[in-house]
Structure formats: C-alpha cells, structure tokens
Structure 1
Amino acid sequence: MLPQTLESHSAMFYSLGRRRWLAGGMALGLAPLLPACSKPVPVMRVGSIVFPGYELMFMARERGLIDSRKVRLIEMLANTDTLRALAAGQLEGAALTLDEMMSARADGVDLRVVMVIDISQGADVVMARRGVTLDNLGGKRIAVEEGAMGAVMLSSLLRAAQLRVEEVKKVAMTLDSSLKVFSTGKVDAIVTAEPWATKLEAQGAQRIFDSSRIPGRITDVLAVRADVLDTQADAIRALVAAHFEARQFFLAQPAQASIHMAARLQTPVEEVPASLRGLQLPDAAENRRLLEKGGNFHRTALELQRVMFEAGLLRKVSQPHELVDTRFLPA
C-alpha cells in the first residue's frame, strides 16, 4: 500500500506502533522546482513514520530550519510503505531502524547511513505480569508484533532466558494495542515500547527485559539512496544540520520544544519528554565516533546482521564500510 496525502489531515486518528506511529498517510509528489531560468533540481523526499526519535526533524521543519525547496519530509503509514517507496524511487531517503535498512539492502535497495538518529537504551521493553520472570518464562504466552523489531527483541529475550522459540507461545499483536492485549489477561508478557511501557507499569506490569541489555542493537538512522548522495549532497547536509539544531533546542528548552512536537505525537505537551525516555540522541561528534571505521556502529551492524540472518530475517550480509557515508555530518 503506497502512502496517501496526510499533510492536510493532521486531525486524523493515529495508527500507533514502535516504528509505525503515524497519522493517516501521505503524498509522494514532487516539491516545487526552482525557477525555470535555473536547472530544475527536484526536492529530496524523506519518508518517516511518526515516532518520538524522528520528531526532531519535523520540529526543525516547524521552526523554519528546513528549506522546503530542498527537502520535503513525508509522513508514512508504516515503514513497510517507506521501504516500498524507496525501492520504487518515490523517496530519496528515510528514517528507519537499522534492521529495516539492512533488509532493504538485502532486497536490492542500496542505502547508506548518513546519521544515527537515536539509539534505544531501554525504550523497547518486555513487560510481564507479577511473578513472571526470565527464570520461569518457559511455556508462557508472549505477545509480540510481527516484523523485524519484534523478532529482534523476542530473540534477545529468549537468549537471555536460555529458551528456544518453540518453548514459548507467541501471540501476534500490534504495538498500538499493547494496553488492550495486556488487559485481557490472555498473555503473560508483552514485547512493547514507550509510551505504552510506562502505562503498563502504572497498571502493575513489571519490566523483565529491555533494550539496555542489547546496547546499540536497536538503532534508528537517516538512510539515503546511494544513487542520490552526490546530486542531493546540499539537501542531505542541510537536513542533518537541522536535526542537530533541533536536538540542541530540545535539550536546552524541552518545555518549549514539546509544544512543537505534541500535536503530531498525539501526546500532551507535558508528556512529550517522557516519550523519549530510553532513547539516546547522539550529537554530531558522537555520530562521528559511532560511524568511524571500527566504531560501535560497525560492530553493532555485524552483530545485528548475524542475529537477523540466524532468525531468517536477512538473506544477505553487508560489510560495515558499505553502509556508511559520514561526509554530511557537521565538522
């Protein structure tokens, strides 16, 4: 399903998910071109679902930090739609989880990481009923969303519990239904994320595993098609700079920044900072350290690909140097 127009439908209901937090759907049209007297330069279209970690780019747009003649941010219903649009040439870049980028590359879409947006350090979590622990998880019913993120979290959980997938009972769900599924009493544990984790905790659920146990494995990146890295260099550089400027504004004035972010996140202004709980937001310097040859990102990429390959989620493994282009990061 290709995205539908959304920019004029901000009041539509959101279909929420860890990596599918979205309002409605969007248009993939070209942005206005430069005047006829100049050589036409199409705008760079960047797809993104609605998710707290990605929101800094949209907040940058709201604050006038992004030139709409260079970059158009396009909200997507789900990252499956984003990946299809990238493959069809309807998007030049996208905010994706690292595993989603790996899957796209394995399917023939040559993407490069130009920036690490965020790293999950507890934002993805397994909540369980009182009395359920890693030691007695065998035979329990575990609700998990289908897809790469759910598979990575479940695989990591079972490895920590020293269990095989056949030794638990998987229950399919979507993340936006986390509270509803848990409240039925028909599952013993649930693979979820913020903000649902905090709400489940308030209802008595306990945290038995989270992404802080698998550092770096769940990482969000800004990925760009390799075939436009040169032609869209100015746009990429401008978008990356705008993200870092918005990040600084959020850290310095979280209350003011939250006003820009609350409507799209469908979250009360005062709860916006909590929605980013458990997310590390690397600055430009940290991005350079992460993405340098032999850095943490390279090690994480290899380990993640191994996990995905063993889980049958990946058909082809890429070398770390094939994944990254750091020339767009600020000096």
Structure 2
Amino acid sequence: MLIARVAMIAGALCLASCSRNSEPGSEQRKAFSIGWSIYAGWMPWPYAQQAGIVKKWADKYGISINVVQVNDYVESINQYTAGKFDGVTVTNMDALTIPAAGGKDSSAIIIGDYSNGNDGILLKGAKDLAAIKGRKVYLAELSVSHYLLARGLEKADLKPTDVRTVNTSDADIVGAFSSPDATAAVAWNPQLSVMKGQAGVHEAFDSSRIPGEILDLLVVDSATLKANPALGKALAGIWYETVALMQRQDAQGKEARAAMARLAGATPAAFDSQLSTTFLYADPKAAVAASSAPALVKTMTLVRDFSFAHGLFKGAASADAVGIAFPGGKTLGDPARVTLRFDESFMKLAADGKL
C-alpha cells in the first residue's frame, strides 16, 4: 500500500477500560478533524479537501472538517487514539489492536476498499512460498504485513516458527531488502513495487489470495459521532462523491486521479497501477452489503484471533476481551466491552440517496 500500515503499540493497553467509555467530545460541536496517511485507497480524502468537496458537504451540514495528513501511519492512529483527531483512516486490524484494544470506542462508518494485491510476500531466488522456510523475513511486525505472512504460511502448510521475523519500518524496508543478506520480506505498495523490481525477486504470495481480509476503513470516535451525526453524513457524502469522480474515464476523472497521484508523490501511471490492486467499494450499496455479510464476521474472527495470539490484547485472558459489533445486532466477543463498531448507517443513507 502507499502507507506504513503498522500496528506497533506503544505501551501497555488497558483492557480494563474496554467498556464503552465517556469520551471527551461527546458534546455537540461544529469543527472536526480527520487524520489520514498516504495510501491509494485513502487519497480521495486529501483530494476532496483540495477540490472543495470537503467544504461543500461540511457547509451543507453547518460544520467544518479539516482533513490532516500525518506522514507516519501508526502516528496518525496514535494521535486519533489520544483524541487529537475525531476520525482516522485505518485498516480493520489496526482499528482493533490500537484504539479498540486500548479502550477507545470507535465506529467504522466507511468501508472504503480491501487490498487485492497491494500487499505481498517477496522472495529472492524462489517463486514458491515453501522456499521461505528457514529464512529471516523483513516486515513491520504486528502489522497487516505480519498477518499476511501468517495467512501465507498457513496456506503453504508452514508454521510461524518456520521463519524468523525481523522488525523493519516502512521507511527502511526497501533499503533493508536491497542487502544481499535479506532474502524474504513482506511489504505494501509503493514499497512493494520498488522491491519487486530488484533482480531475482519474486512475489510468492499476495493479498489477492485472501480477498476482503485486509480492509481499509474510516473510523470515527463513537461518542463524537453519536453527538454529531452530521459529521457522519458529511463524511459519507464527501467519500462517495469523490470516489464516483475518480472512477470516471473522462477528462475530469483522469485529472482527479492525476491530482491524487501528485498528492501521493506518485506518477499517474504508478497510482493507477496501485488502484488496480485495490478493490474500491465505490458503490455505497456494495459497501453496505459488505458490512452486513457473514464474511465480515469471519474476517474479523481471523484478525482478532491472530491479534490475541500475538499478544496485541494486553492483559486479556481470551480473544473475546475486545468486543466487535456488526450491523443487525451481531457481536463478536464480550458484548459488555464493545469498542469497535461497524456502523453501516451513513453508507446506507448514501445508498438510498438520503444524504
């Protein structure tokens, strides 16, 4: 992906506070901020601000919204968790393991896309993932890259103990993999594309083999959203207008994508290539269906079980310690400790033309 989607958690997370808590910001307000970091599926947000789409929808609901770039992905989530932002762009796994596991009640109001090849496992001198056995694997530990590795090993009938991971930041992974001693790595675009271009490198597994499991979301503080539903409506309006524009094949659509590429520091061709491995939920009806499908519960079960097994629910006795709520009243985990909610209501308003 175009970002360092890393779930490295600084300090112990207090699961004792995982019940729905009273957050500052539960009052009615007029000004809001949303944090974002660079990734193909999230570039509609800064473009919408640049193009005046953010202001258009914010004005409609009598509020103001500032869309703020954070250069480091994990820092954007940490700042959201600390209350600096009202919402943030984040993966499903990181939404669970950072704010939710830390007790911050968050609502995923937009399912934007899933990685459909934007994340991959690379090997030098081999094409078969089985050749990874015994190698050191460079990746951002405890991130979606680590999750992808675990799923790849599972499908190759290998165990996590068959490899040794080397924690490597997104900023350093391209350089680290260029060393002759580094023969295996997991990365996301654009780093993935750069690393694939090195001599003798092959992609042995990618996220298209696990469609729908690495989801990219917009989450908003639940207390803020409850007190200020206009924020959710404006954000949904911004998202679907912008995504509809970028899907167009006319001059305006092409220019929108080119502007997003510039904002991402990529060429239009490179950005379009990254979009080709990003399954965008451009149709709000499709996003509503995805949020309500049994597959989402299955995906989140896989993600939370991985997270618990790797110690990301600090102090938890089981994977049920962090509750996850889905549309229709389904809850995964402890219903008294729900801190991650998939809220389809604003996507549904968009689908029904009621924004």
User: What percentage of aligned pairs have identical amino acids?
Assistant: 21
Report the counterpart of residue 267 of structure 1 in structure 2. 266
CA distance in 2, matches of 1:141, 1:291: 37
Q: Which of 111, 128, 132 in structure 1 is aligned with 2:106? A: 111
How high is the TM-score relative to the length of structure 1? 0.82
**Which amino acid in the other structure matches residue 326 of structure 1?**
E
Tell me if the contact between 2:108 and 2:343 (Cα under 8 Å) persists in the aligned partners.
yes
Q: Is 1:186 aligned with 2:181?
A: yes
Tell me if the contact between 1:298 and 1:320 (Cα under 8 Å) persists in the aligned partners.
no
CA distance in 1, matches of 2:209, 2:28: 49
Tell me if the contact between 1:62 and 1:260 (Cα under 8 Å) persists in the aligned partners.
no
Tell me if the contact between 2:130 and 2:158 (Cα under 8 Å) persists in the aligned partners.
no
- Unaligned ranges ≥5, structure 1: 1-15, 21-38
Task: Count matched residues.
Answer: 297
Q: Is 1:307 aligned with 2:306?
A: yes
Q: Is 1:92 aligned with 2:91?
A: no
Tell me if the contact between 2:36 and 2:67 (Cα under 8 Å) persists in the aligned partners.
yes
Tell me if the contact between 2:139 and 2:186 (Cα under 8 Å) persists in the aligned partners.
yes
Q: Which of 311, 315, 319 in structure 1 is aligned with 2:324? A: 319
* Aligned-partner SS, 2:239: helix
Instruction: Judge which range, 169-178 or 108-117, deviates more.
Output: 169-178
Q: How does 1:57-136 map to 2 (within 5 A)?
A: 57-67=45-55, 69-103=63-97, 104-131=99-126, 133-136=128-131
Post-superposition offset of 1:40: 8.4
* Aligned-partner SS, 1:216: coil
Deviations along 1:210-237, whole A, 9 cap, x unmatched?
1112222211111111101133211221
Report the counterpart of residue 18 of structure 1 in structure 2. 4
* Aligned-partner SS, 1:175: coil
Post-superposition offset of 1:132: 5.1
Deviations along 1:291-313, whole A, 9 cap, x unmatched?
12x44323222221122222222
Report the counterpart of residue 218 of structure 2 in structure 1. 222
Tell me if the contact between 2:290 and 2:296 (Cα under 8 Å) persists in the aligned partners.
yes
Deviations along 1:95-149, whole A, 9 cap, x unmatched?
1111111112121000011110110111100111122522232111211113322
- Which stretches of structure 1, 4 residues or longer, exceed 4 Å deviation after superposition? none
**Which amino acid in the other structure matches residue 170 of structure 1?**
T
Q: How does 1:141-152 map to 2 (within 5 A)?
A: 141-152=136-147
- Unaligned ranges ≥5, structure 2: 7-26, 327-337
Report the counterpart of residue 289 of structure 2 in structure 1. 289
CA distance in 1, matches of 2:163, 2:216: 29
Tell me if the contact between 1:120 and 1:280 (Cα under 8 Å) persists in the aligned partners.
yes
Q: How does 1:226-237 map to 2 (within 5 A)?
A: 226-237=222-233
Structure 1 residues 40, 129: CA separation in 2 closer, same or farther (over 3 Å shift)?
closer
CA distance in 1, matches of 2:80, 2:181: 38
Report the counterpart of residue 49 of structure 1 in structure 2. 37
Deviations along 1:41-75, whole A, 9 cap, x unmatched?
33121111122211111111122111264211111
Deviations along 1:5-52, whole A, 9 cap, x unmatched?
xxxxxxxxxxx74327xxxxxxxxxxxxxxxxxx98331211111222
Q: Is 1:172 aligned with 2:167?
A: yes
Tell me if the contact between 1:144 and 1:154 (Cα under 8 Å) persists in the aligned partners.
no
Structure 1 residues 134, 84: CA separation in 2 closer, same or farther (over 3 Å shift)?
closer
Tell me if the contact between 1:137 and 1:168 (Cα under 8 Å) persists in the aligned partners.
yes
CA distance in 2, matches of 1:87, 1:19: 15
Q: Higher relative contact order by CA 8 Å / sep ≥ 6: 1 or 2? A: 2
Instruction: Judge which range, 148-157 or 94-103, deviates more.
Output: 148-157
How high is the TM-score relative to the length of structure 2? 0.77
CA distance in 1, matches of 2:309, 2:143: 12
Post-superposition offset of 1:263: 2.6
Post-superposition offset of 1:198: 2.6
Post-superposition offset of 1:278: 1.3
- The structure whose residues are more often helix, as a share, is 2
